[in-house]
Structure 1
Amino acid sequence: MTGDFNLFDHPAFGDDTNPNPGRERVRIIIFGSKEVVRATIHDAHLKGFRRVDSWSPLLPTPDPGVFMSISTEYRVMR
């Protein structure tokens, strides 16, 4: 990526307030063309890795033709 783009400033990251005490937020990001990102999301779902509805809408990046999607889930920390 180029320029002053800061991924962590993107609204999809939201604030860091944890509404789930005892659980920690985990984010996974996919970068690629719209088609590849969508296909990867569906592959992850078919493999039982992440639900399709856990991913953000496709988000543009500063690189032409490159998009991203972010999945956020919470994991129990022991």
Structure 2
Amino acid sequence: MTGDFNLFDHPAFEEDSDPNAGRERVRIIIFGSKEVVRATIHDLYLKNFRRIESLSPLLPTPDPTVFMSISTEYRVMR
């Protein structure tokens, strides 16, 4: 793994115009093999914890055996 990798430089973290003004963005990141990340996404969906469409496709990491998926949701904070 190289020391040059910065997770927050990944396109999934790009800031865009917020279509959800008044809400705060929260992200959950899953790391693991392709199989375990897919299984975890499926489990989170079955438990009504995350919608499938809120998770990114599998994304590579500097370690070729590890992948990640990022879930982005917006929450109203009162």
Is 2:36 aligned against 1:39?
Answer: no
Shift of 1:54: 0.8
**May I ask how many residue pairs the two structures share in their alignment?**
78
Identity of aligned residues (%): 85
Q: Structure 1: how far apart are the matches of 2:30 and 2:13?
A: 14
Q: Structure 2: how far apart are the matches of 1:19 and 1:9?
A: 21
Alignment gaps of 5+ in structure 1: none
Shift of 1:19: 2.4
Q: Which runs of 4+ in 1 moved over 4 A?
A: none
Q: Structure 2: how far apart are the matches of 1:6 and 1:66?
A: 15
Alignment gaps of 5+ in structure 2: none
Q: TM-score, normalised by structure 1?
A: 0.92
Deviations 1:13-64 (A, max 9, x none): 1215432121000000000000000000000000000011111010000012
Q: What residue is the counterpart of 2:15 in the other structure? A: 15
Q: TM-score, normalised by structure 2?
A: 0.92
